[in-house]
């Protein structure tokens, strides 16, 4: 079986997988948000918060591209917008459920798992950060 040649312009810590590129990441983000927008629990939050879906999907695609492909295209403080929302444990749980299903629908198991592990760490970080600003104590629940 033919393996693609290594790409010399890729960051040495970038995930190397034949099915992983910016187009695949964008598809993941688009499919996830399509599902999230229709969800009874988290859909209303997204739909009242996001004003420009094309811009949002592009920004989140850049975020994930920077996370896994080390492209460096995302710059910003991802926690800040989430601090303004009234998010609680069930919101993070549902976000992860939808994200995990979407990753598994699109990617082979080893690649889906890479996204899922990172998403769980992000969810824990955001949930703990939001809780700490409220003065609540929350233990990590999603990271493996």
Are the C-beta atoms of residues 37 and 46 closer than 8 Å to each other?
A: yes
pLDDT of residue 77: 81
CA 64 to chain centre: 6
pLDDT of residue 70: 87
Closest-CA residue to 101 (of 44, 40, 35, 49):
35
Reported pTM: 0.81
Q: Choose between 86 and 90: higher pLDDT.
A: 90
pLDDT of residue 54: 96
pLDDT of residue 143: 64
Ordered by where they begin, the domains of the chain are 22-74+85-134 (1.10.490.10)
Q: What is the mean pLDDT of residues 112-131?
A: 89
pLDDT of residue 58: 96
Closest-CA residue to 66 (of 15, 19, 7, 100):
15
7-43 pLDDT, tens digit per residue, is 445 555 456 666 789 999 999 999 999 999 999 999 9
SS3 call for 122: helix
Question: Which of 79-88, 112-121, 135-144 reaches the highest mean pLDDT?
Answer: 112-121
pLDDT of residue 8: 47
Q: Is 115 exposed, middle or buried (0-12, 13-18, 19+ CB in 10 A)?
A: buried
């Amino acid at each position: 079986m033919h393996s693609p040649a290594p790409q010399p312009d890729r960051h040495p810590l970038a995930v190397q997988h034949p099915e992983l590129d910016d187009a695949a990441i964008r598809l993941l983000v688009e499919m996830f948000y399509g599902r999230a927008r229709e969800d009874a629990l988290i859909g209303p939050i997204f739909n009242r918060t996001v004003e420009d879906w094309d811009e949002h999907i592009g920004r989140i695609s850049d975020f994930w591209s920077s996370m896994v492909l080390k492209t460096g295209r995302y710059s910003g403080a991802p926690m800040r917008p989430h601090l303004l929302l009234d998010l609680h444990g069930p919101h993070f749980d549902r976000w992860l459920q939808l994200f995990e299903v979407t990753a598994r629908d699109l990617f082979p198991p080893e690649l889906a798992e890479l996204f899922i592990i990172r998403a769980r760490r992000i969810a824990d970080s955001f949930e703990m950060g939001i809780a700490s600003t409220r003065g609540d104590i929350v233990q990590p629940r999603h990271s493996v």
